[in-house]
Amino acid sequence: MKERLMLGIETSCDETSAAVVADGQSVRSLVTYSQIAIHQAFGGVVPEVASRQHVAVITRTVEQALTEANVQLSQLDGIAVTCGPGLLGALLVGLSAAKGYALVSGLPFFPVHHIAGHVAAAGLEAQWRPPMLCLVVSGGHTELLVVDENFRFQRLGGTVDDAAGEAYDKVARLCGLNYPGGPEIDKLAAQGNPDALDLPRSFLDSEELSFSFSGLKSAVANRLEKARRNHEYLPVEDICASFQQAVLDVLVTKTSQAAKKTGLRRIVVAGGVAANRGLRQAMTQLACRADLEIFFPNPVYCTDNGAMIAAAGSHMMKAGRHGTLDVNAYANLSFAEWQNLTS
């Protein structure tokens, strides 16, 4: 059977990314212009700066992705683009450009939910075997979902306050580590004592599939303040290890509860934090213990990228779920709302 090529475009935050993916699985090209260096000076992403940067590089990014995949627009089978959730101005750049390509080529158009893209990353250069339970952990999201054979999602639960990745960034700042803080904490945690600090684990004893990381972040801040007042030395490795352990305990327990509740044996762990070595280790241990199959995207596809959006578009195409060129961009977008955008 002829392979189906999808162009994927992602501009929901601070990466301008485009990719060509065959059959939702094989990455033919992936080009990403990261703005991290630009936003570092501000200590976080400035939405208007991000949008200006996207419009400056969008067509170059797409052209490079097509060139590297050695295909022309007319040889593609569809165009996929993130339509939300994300920074509205940033999303609109990718969405408008994608509509332009779709309009002139007449190709089918697939508006993709950003989180659905993170989940689809698990099928890149790997087997895609829904239905699956999904744990999506990133700077903006911490969610437990179920994805079915038609690439439809059901949300089981999520964070009630901060996302896990957000807590990582805040704790990293408290420890004086560089932005983005996740990888730094992960590295230092491996050398520290996870029992050094007694930190809270929210919802651990409840059956509710919810997360809360705001209290954990405050507990770290209070403990550091106490240590400062008492002239007590706390090795940064121990702070990182204790914090990471508290996050992992909650993520693993809730995923395990969700697996029991849904009866699903296959689990996808996706999102920026899925590249975290500590999380990978803890989830792999859970899989052994509970006889579950666990799928992690390749770390290069864990951060925001066009390939995951192309893969999601391919799954939508297979399920016959097309979008139209009047679709909007959404700063907030539930799975139900997104699923209503396509027919």
Partner 1 sequence: MAILVMDTATEVLATGLIVEENILVSAVSSTPRGHSTALAPLLQSILQSGRTTPHQLKKIVVGVGPGSYTGVRMAVSMAKSMAMALEIPLLPVSTLTALAYAAVPLIDKGPFLLLPLLYARRGRAFGALYQGAGDGLEVLAPESVQPISEWSSLATRAVQDRQNQVKLVMIHDFPDAQADEIPQFATSIHLKSNQERLPRGLWLASQTVRPMMREEIHEVLPNYMLEVEAQVRLRERGAARFGNGLES
Q: Is 75 in the site for partner 1 (CB under 8 A)?
A: no
Both tokens of residue 236? 């940064």
Compare residues 89 and 200 and give the one whose CB is closer to partner 1: 89
Q: Is 36 in the site for partner 1 (CB under 8 A)?
A: no
Single out the residue of 36, 56, 204, 336 in contact with partner 1 (rule: CB under 8 A): 56
**Best CA proximity match to 137, nearest among 5, 283, 333:** 283
Segment interacting with partner 1 (CB under 8 A) among 88-96, 122-130, 164-172, 245-253 = 88-96
Q: Is 103 in the site for partner 1 (CB under 8 A)?
A: yes
* DSSP H helical ranges for 190-305: 214-229, 236-262, 277-290
Q: Output the smallest distance, CB 50 to partner 1, in A.
A: 10
Q: Is 101 in the site for partner 1 (CB under 8 A)?
A: yes
Q: Output the smallest distance, CB 201 to partner 1, in A.
A: 36
Segment interacting with partner 1 (CB under 8 A) among 95-103, 124-132, 149-157, 302-310 = 95-103
Q: What is the pattern of x (binds partner 1, CB under 8 A) and - over residues 210-249?
A: ----------------------------------------
Q: Is 204 in the site for partner 1 (CB under 8 A)?
A: no
Q: Is 92 in the site for partner 1 (CB under 8 A)?
A: yes
Residues 334, 337, 341, 343, CA torsion sign: positive
Length of the chain: 343
Q: Under 8 Å CB-to-CB from 62, ≥6 apart: which residues?
A: 7, 9, 18, 97, 101
Question: Would you say 137 is a known binding-site residue?
Answer: yes
Strand, coil or helix: 341:
helix
Q: Is 193 in the site for partner 1 (CB under 8 A)?
A: no
Q: Output the smallest distance, CB 19 to partner 1, in A.
A: 16
DSSP result, 133-149: EEEEESSS-EEEEEE-T
Compare residues 52 and 155 and give the one whose CB is closer to partner 1: 52
Contact 97, 7 (CB under 8 A): no
Segment interacting with partner 1 (CB under 8 A) among 42-50, 149-157, 166-174, 305-313 = 42-50
Segment interacting with partner 1 (CB under 8 A) among 58-66, 119-127, 155-163, 197-205 = 58-66
b or e along 47-75 (b: 16 or more beta carbons within 10 Å of the residue's beta carbon)? eebbbebbbebbeebbebbbeebebeeee
Q: Output the smallest distance, CB 280 to partner 1, in A.
A: 35
Single out the residue of 3, 75, 104, 337 in contact with partner 1 (rule: CB under 8 A): 104
- Rounded CA separation 171/72 (Å): 46
- Rounded CA separation 117/86 (Å): 13
Contact 115, 105 (CB under 8 A): no
Question: Would you say 276 is a known binding-site residue?
Answer: yes
Single out the residue of 25, 26, 46, 183 in contact with partner 1 (rule: CB under 8 A): 46
Helix 164-174 and helix 182-189: axis angle, to 10°? Answer: 70
Interacting residues with partner 1 between 279 and 338 (CB under 8 A): 324-329
Contact 315, 307 (CB under 8 A): no
DSSP result, 319-333: TT--B-TTPPP-SS-
Query: Which residues belong to the annotated binding site for substrate?
Result: 136-140, 169, 182, 186, 276
What are the residues binding partner 1 (CB under 8 A)?
Answer: 41-42, 46, 48-49, 51-52, 55-60, 62-63, 73, 88-89, 92-105, 324-329
User: Which residues are known binding-site members for Fe cation?
Assistant: 114, 118, 304
